[in-house]
Amino acid sequence: MSSRTFIGRLGRLGQIGKLGKLGKLGKLGKLGKLGKLGALATIPTAVLLAGCPDDAPQFEEPFETIGPVAFGGRVAFVDQRRAEVHLITPELGSGPIDHDIVEIGRDPQVVATDLDAGRLLVLTHGSAGAPGVTEEEEAIWAIEPNGEATRYEVRSPFTAIGVHPDGDRLFLYFDQTVLSRSELVYNPHEVATVDLSEPPSGSNPALKTVRSFELVPTRAIFSPPLQIAGETIDFVAVLASDFVTLVDLDHPDRREVSIPLTLDPALEAVQPLEVVFSQPNPAIDPVVYVSAQGSTDVFAFTLREIEEVSEGGHFFSVAPNLYAVGAMPTDLQPATLATGEALLVATGTATLWVIDTTTSEATPISLEAPVRDIVPVRASDGTISQAILFAAGGNVVHFVQLEGLEDSVLREVDAVALAAPVGGVSPLPDGTTAAVFHADANRSVSILRLADHSVSALTATAPLDRTVFSADGARAFVASSFDARLSVIDVATRHPEDLRLDEVPTGLVLVPGPEILVVTHEAEAGLVTFVDATQPSRSTARMLEGFLLEGLLDRNGEIR
């Protein structure tokens, strides 16, 4: 390690007071093992000796963070207790670390970034108020890489954030699986749309209650821009049991469209799982494909253009169709074949269904083993050239070439049996390889060559639970929470090299520009290692520790 930096400058010692209870921070004593910190470790002790006031609980609370989250060339850690965000610019060498602390609202609950990771989003639930604590409404904070934060008051304790692909529009809702405890009563059918390109105002965020028939949403999925009746429309599909509701983000005055998935909700529960929007040609009506638990059909809702505006203010009507695939669909993938638009459907059986979306004809393709997931592999022009099919827990990976798929003679479907069960598959950015994460005891990794379907299985000596690929896919960084090492794998040659760490890693995140791998470790006040992702080496790596303590005393360590 080239350097270790203790960033936890506590500030004016006179304010430490009850630092004695920083006995928890005494775990910083672990840092003492890192050498340089030994000097600092004595400072709290000296203060303790000076006596401690009894009214500084802020220093008693442990650090509870959400992160690391990479965005805008920085890495963020959200301190839930102190309602602040630590923004750190990863740096190698021994120079000063660019570290900003951004104050946000109380009780941060959800953290996200926009799709290109240029902005950090934090949803805070505020506070109902208490003696000495002012009331604070729920809000969503948009934080720029330079630490500039904008607060949008949402006034509802949402538990999920949907981020539009344009990065500027958000859709906040209540995730059915998470109980929001911030308010005495809340409306789980309420949603909010936020336009981050506009300043906060009375109408931004905009709250509304979505028609939901007493069913709480489970997910919200954004559509790409769709062309309907001469308009470009972005929808968010709100999924709830038995319904998919389309909300027009561009026209808030238009009523939402609730599409049933069953005619007998009292008798059957149909839970939508996946929604795929498809409009391969702006001249044809878009289609919303839905797979659902409780149904062996794929739902296809065509948003058919109509001449006269509907009751809800729309220029489309919903024309349903169902494609029978014999078992519950587990994955959907639109594809363009020589015969036209198609939908690939996996059902957890040894059959891949290819649905001609023009004729609704479903063609079953027999496979050698059950598949649940379809992973598209894109060519350099962005088109999908082939798909990798697998089922988690199975040993077989299928490769399906889309060219000729409609022809039973020309069709190319290949199956490769792996030595260990598959946990997941991820095509790499170079488009020539894919990584297979195994579900064996060590969660080992294999590299697949897509050209010849050859497999290089890499043996792990400890369970691998973290993997990050470099942006160009040339290198894979693999870590185990049981081993203080990082494995750097050259994807082309499949050659792994170890990089020893000082501590066992708990997380990996890649920060672009220049690419630096950020490795987190278990520590009370924050401990990370920066690794040069381009030329990884222990000699150039840098540790940063105690950063959560930065300025703690200056801010009075307030728990807000």
CA distance linking residue 444 with residue 41, whole number of Å: 40
**Both tokens assigned to 33:** 């093992």
Under the criterion CB under 8 A, does residue 79 sit at the interface with another protein?
A: no
Query: Does residue 358 interact with another protein by CB under 8 A?
Result: yes
Q: Mapping DSSP to helix (H, G, I), strand (E, B) and coil, where does residue 8 land?
A: coil
Q: Is 23 helix (H, G, I), strand (E, B) or coil?
A: helix
DSSP string, 155-176: -S---EEEE-TTSSEEEEE--T
The CB-of-400 to another protein minimum distance in angstroms stands at 23
Considering just the CA atoms, what is the radius of gyration of the chain in Å? 26
Q: How far is the CB of 361 from another protein (least distance, A)?
A: 6
Of residues 317, 326, 300, 427, the one with CA closest to residue 374: 427
Shortest Cβ 182–another protein spacing (Å): 31
- The only residue of 59, 323, 469, 530 in contact with another protein, by rule CB under 8 A: 323
Q: Where are the alpha helices (DSSP H) in 37-179?
A: 38-49
The answer to whether 326 and 313 are in contact (CB under 8 A) is no
The residues, any chain, with a CB within 8 Å of residue 248's CB and separated by 6 or more, are 233, 234, 235, 254, 256, 314
Residue 362 engages another protein in binding (rule: CB under 8 A) = yes
Q: Does 299 bind another protein (CB under 8 A)?
A: yes
Nearer Cβ to another protein (15/349): 349
Among 178, 319, 338, 419, binds another protein (CB under 8 A): 319
CA triple 542-554-130, angle to 5 deg: 120
Residue 281: burial class (beta carbons within 10 Å; 0-12, 13-18, 19+): exposed
Instruction: Check residue 374 for interaction with another protein (CB under 8 A).
Output: no
Q: Report if residue 309 touches another protein, rule: CB under 8 A.
A: no
Q: Candidates 47, 257, 447, 527: give the one binding another protein (CB under 8 A).
A: 257
Do 542 and 91 form a contact (C-beta atoms < 8 A)? yes
Q: Choose the stretch contacting another protein; rule: CB under 8 A; options: 250-258, 374-382, 386-394, 541-549.
A: 250-258
Q: Which is nearer to another protein, 234 or 297 (CB)?
A: 297
49 DSSP 8-state letter = H
Nearest to 257 by CA among 226, 212, 290: 212
The site for another protein, by CB under 8 A, has a size of 32
For residue 243, the minimal CB distance to another protein (Å) is 9
User: If binding is defined by CB under 8 A, does position 359 make contact with another protein?
Assistant: yes
- Which of the residues 263 through 292 are near another protein (CB under 8 A)? 263-264
Nearer residue to another protein within complex by CB, 261 or 548: 261
Exactly one of 314, 398, 443, 521 binds another protein (CB under 8 A); that residue is 314
Q: Which residues contact 202 (CB under 8 A, 6 or more apart)?
A: none
Q: Which of 322, 327, 439, 559 lies at the binding interface for another protein (CB under 8 A)?
A: 322
310 near another protein (CB under 8 A): yes
Distance of alpha carbon 521 from alpha carbon 65, whole angstroms = 12
**Residue from 57, 129, 320, 393 that binds another protein (CB under 8 A)?**
320
93: contact with another protein by CB under 8 A: no
Among 40, 52, 149, 318, binds another protein (CB under 8 A): 318
* Binding of another protein by 324 (CB under 8 A): yes
Among 259, 327, 369, 504, binds another protein (CB under 8 A): 259
Positions touching another protein (CB under 8 A) are: 211, 255-264, 297, 299, 304, 310-314, 317-324, 358-362
